[in-house]
Amino acid sequence: MKYNEYRTGYYHFTSIENINLLQYNLKSFKEFELGNVSGDNWTDSILLESKKYTTYSEQNKYISNICRTEIKKNLTKYTIFHIACCFKAIVDPSRYDVFLFFKKEVPSHSGVVKAFNEKGFFYSISKSLGWLLTDTINSPSKGFLIANIYIIVAFVFQIGKLFFISYFLIIFYKAKKFNWNYPTIFTICFIGFNFLITGPVASPRYLIPIDFYIFCATALGFEFWINRKKAPNI
């Protein structure tokens, strides 16, 4: 960080920290708060205003101050939004990465994030699935069709995963097997941290470090649900 300050005159850990803060975290929050168009306009206005400063240091200080002030001013609302987006990452099939893999342009009209910003979590699930089905039927190419079919399958799996994880947690809680030992505390902190860093971006790729735990919980939840008439073996 000192090296970055020496080179740029601005004390920072990475050059993308303000990009992430403004164009991902705050932009998503403003889109949720004001609507997609107004949220975009708010972000663009901050970027435009920052260009009035001539140096890298001044531009980043301006962006940082604006963003941090905005978060402090809406701390409760932003915190709730941030946490809600963490759970949204569980059901997001990561359309952007899939289309990138197939070298296809991501449709701008659809997506879990866009739908979530419009009317919330459950609406985003139904709306996004509707968009995916429409895009699949009207696929302009074979690659686009394959990408959409894959995303639909992944999306259904993600929804099922959320259900089975919830079922597992309920059974686990009812069994009263929870112990506050060091491995448990570490696991909770590790999972919690990885959930929180997804933030408003809500990208499933950020959950890769805890996918092992997620899939284990999903598998156990599925097993408990299949054998729900029997006493759970925990």
pLDDT tens digit sequence for 4-50: 565 666 666 667 777 888 888 888 888 888 877 888 899 999 999 98
The pLDDT score that the predictor gives to residue 104 is: 64
DSSP output for 59-126:
HHHHHHHHHHHHHHHTHHHHHHHHHHHHHHHHH---HHHHHHHTT-PPPTT--HHHHHHHH-HHHHHH
The pLDDT score that the predictor gives to residue 9 is: 66
* Percent of the chain residues topping a pLDDT of 70: 74
CA distance 162 to 218: 8
pLDDT in tens, 179-208: 777 777 888 888 888 888 887 777 778 888
CA distance 186 to 213: 13
> Using 50, 70 and 90 to split pLDDT, how confident is the model at 120?
low
pLDDT in tens, 145-174: 777 787 778 878 888 888 998 888 888 878
Gap between the terminal Cα atoms of the chain: 47
The pLDDT score that the predictor gives to residue 179 is: 73
Residues contacting residue 200 through CB under 8 Å, at least 6 positions apart: 24, 25, 27, 28, 29, 32, 81, 82, 85
The pLDDT score that the predictor gives to residue 74 is: 92
Query: Both tokens of residue 138?
Result: 């009207």
The pLDDT score that the predictor gives to residue 98 is: 74
Helix axes 112-119, 36-50, angle to 10 degrees: 110
Q: Is the pLDDT of residue 110 over 60?
A: no
Please, what is the average pLDDT of the chain? 78
In degrees, rounded to 5, the angle at the alpha carbon of residue 162 between the alpha carbons of residues 222 and 124 is 150
